[in-house]
Structure 1
């Protein structure tokens, strides 16, 4: 009989193990490992995974899939979707908090709209990206030399939508044109019909009311390629 009892007991033990509910703490640890893998290229990130309701009993699952819940991102307060893909049919969302320490730039003093930012106008700060506006300026080169589209209070973070490239050409300004035709450069002068920043399109009126369109250069000249 022993030859029959032992396999039977083993079979019953295995079935009992499969029927045991999932360990919620083990799921939390798996989710934390998955998030850290996604953030492997962001060493300054911090991860805090919440806990499932202790009353929640999930059926045993041989294989789980981890993803961000729809509409979530790997930053700030977010939700991790855990779904059983083998052995049971369930899915749950697990709360998480993901932080990322970054350097960002704020106004060193109150600045008016239309002000062209210099190095002394920006000040470096450290903070959690999750607590900052999504368009916050993280590189000083994004700010210095740009024109403020609105007034900024002292200590306020610079955001991309606040800034525009400084004008290199003003409407009505006399400008030098370089017209490239067949590999030959022809110089001329005219009057700018619109204000433009470097790289933007500018229309220029020449003598005789001829109007050409070109690209504004940093030095205030215009390149025209017919």
Structure 2
């Protein structure tokens, strides 16, 4: 019985005792990156830089040369009164993201109800993974999806509001005038995308598709 208790103690030590506690610098970096995330997400940061590259002051001011990436391996500037250091860090973020509830076929119209939320490491997902279920509403699958699969931007497209060959209303609004006419769309386009339209005169114009399927001319 005593041997069993000793074995359990050793197992617990192996699971917990080898994990290093975060340093004050890593705690400060975690707070900095947490402010950039939704409150429901959990952030932890590890410093990868060697000790000689760490800031000399106790409370450096952090900034990022580029804010295009929110997690993964990043470079962060740490400004002290006398010197600025650049740190290499790894930002780990745990949060929710949508995955398919059921098999989805190529060409199938999608809705947020076709997906469920899963909690996991966002920094380990492909860079273009869609995290907001609303982005899946009124989209179309470009490839089959299996249950539990996360969705990247290349796997879907927005639904066409205007299709090639369709007759559309072309609107021209300007200072002191408002003109509309019909034309024929030359390409498919979703809302806010650009579509080329051939007018009855043969002239080809371009405009942005609105939510009603009309085309607002680009000047």
TM-score band w.r.t. shorter chain: 0.5 to 0.7
Alignment check: 8 A CA contact 1:45 1:98 kept: no
Structure number with larger C-alpha Rg: 1
Q: CA–CA distance in 2 between the matches of 1:162 and 1:113?
A: 9
The CA deviation string for residues 29-50 of structure 1, in whole angstroms up to 9 with x for no partner, is: 3443343343342564353759
The alpha-carbon distance between structure 1 residues 183 and 151, as it changes in their structure 2 partners (threshold 3 A), is farther
Alignment check: 8 A CA contact 1:106 1:154 kept: yes
Q: CA–CA distance in 1 between the matches of 2:166 and 2:127?
A: 37
Structure 2 unaligned residues grouped into runs of 5+:
1-19, 63-68, 77-81
Helix, strand or coil at the partner of 1:137: coil
Segment drifting more, 210-219 vs 29-38:
29-38
Helix, strand or coil at the partner of 2:201: helix
The alpha-carbon distance between structure 1 residues 209 and 104, as it changes in their structure 2 partners (threshold 3 A), is same
Q: CA–CA distance in 1 between the matches of 2:175 and 2:55?
A: 70
Q: Please name the residue that 2:124 is paired with.
A: 131
Q: Please name the residue that 1:114 is paired with.
A: 107
Q: Residue 211 of structure 1: CA displacement?
A: 2.3
Q: CA–CA distance in 1 between the matches of 2:131 and 2:102?
A: 18
Q: Residue 125 of structure 1: CA displacement?
A: 1.4
Helix, strand or coil at the partner of 2:161: strand
The alpha-carbon distance between structure 1 residues 102 and 193, as it changes in their structure 2 partners (threshold 3 A), is same
Q: Please name the residue that 1:7 is paired with.
A: none
Segment drifting more, 187-196 vs 110-119:
110-119
Q: CA–CA distance in 2 between the matches of 1:110 and 1:141?
A: 19
Q: Residue 97 of structure 1: CA displacement?
A: 6.5
Alignment check: 8 A CA contact 1:106 1:156 kept: yes
Q: Please name the residue that 1:36 is paired with.
A: 30
Q: CA–CA distance in 1 between the matches of 2:175 and 2:23?
A: 67
Q: Residue 205 of structure 1: CA displacement?
A: 1.6
Q: Please name the residue that 2:7 is paired with.
A: none
Q: CA–CA distance in 1 between the matches of 2:74 and 2:192?
A: 40
The within-5 A match list for 1:142-221 is 142-180=135-173, 182-221=175-214
Q: CA–CA distance in 2 between the matches of 1:202 and 1:39?
A: 40
Alignment check: 8 A CA contact 2:27 2:45 kept: no
Q: Residue 79 of structure 1: CA displacement?
A: 9.9
The total of aligned residue pairs comes to 186
1:99 aligns with 2:92: yes
Q: TM-score, normalised by structure 1?
A: 0.62
